[in-house]
Chains A and B, each alone.
Chain A
Amino acid sequence: DVKVTQSSRYLVKRTGEKVFLECVQDMDHENMFWYRQDPGLGLRLIYFSYDVKMKEKGDIPEGYSVSREKKERFSLILESASTNQTSMYLCASSLWSVGSTDTQYFGPGTRLTVL
């Protein structure tokens, strides 16, 4: 079974703090993704990575950065948390397939509250 784990289920931080959200997958997947989920907006892609040390901006990268030093781990960083970054954050991974799209497997999510 594919397993995607996220470091915290719930996190409460203060405005201006630096926040790290960690994601680990155990299936040797090349692709990893970070989304945020907000009511009425669905899942929006923040950043994704096709390989170690590679990253690409998604649809809403402002205020976020990422790090992928190892294949199994993809970190989302909020350099200076703001209240509008209060949200559910979902990590996903998928196998890279030539000319095809493989299933994205999601972690359980981290609900971040910024006070």
Chain B
Amino acid sequence: GENVEQHPSTLSVQEGDSAVIKCTYSDSASNYFPWYKQELGKGPQLIIDIRSNVGEKKDQRIAVTLNKTAKHFSLHITETQPEDSAVYFCAARASQNTDKLIFGTGTRLQVFP
């Protein structure tokens, strides 16, 4: 079945540095790729998403890139701040005829002041 792999599982960076989280997916028919941020004690919250008809999308300090040929997509956070510390999940739509998402296993990002 559809599978999403996410790396790394933990990431520690100094405040101001960049952070990159990478995901690969198995189903070439997937066409929607959201990223969620989960802070302690809260449910995941969408921070950015990308659809397969674009290669890159940016929102202030956050950007997502998509390589459909290689079936991988990445989250880039620039100028990291302590409040970026959280668990980040990537996801891929299971197929074109469903609203199911397949989630990666998560990346715990720690930003040290």
- Chain A interface residues (CB < 8 Å from chain B): 4, 31, 35, 40-45, 48, 50, 58-59, 90, 92, 94, 96, 100-109
Contacts and interface: CB of A to CB of B under 8 A. Distances in A.
Interface of B: 1, 6, 9, 32, 34, 36, 41-46, 49, 89, 93, 99-101, 103-106
Given A40-B9, A42-B6, A103-B34, A108 B103 contact: no
Contact of A101 (B9, B45, B93, B105): B93
A22 B44 CA distance: 18
A3 to B, nearest CB: 11
Given A4-B43, A43-B44, A43-B89, A102 B105 contact: no
A101 B46 contact: no
15 contacts: A31-B99, A42-B106, A44-B103, A48-B99, A48-B100, A58-B100, A59-B1, A90-B43, A100-B32, A101-B99, A103-B46, A104-B99, A105-B46, A106-B36, A109-B43
B105 A108 contact: no
Contacts of A109: 42-43
**Among A42, A48, A90, A100, residue most surrounded by chain B Cβ atoms (within 10 Å):** A42
A107 B43 contact: yes
Nearest to B31: A101
The 3 closest A-B pairs by CB, nearest first: A106-B43, A42-B105, A43-B103
Contacts of A41: 105
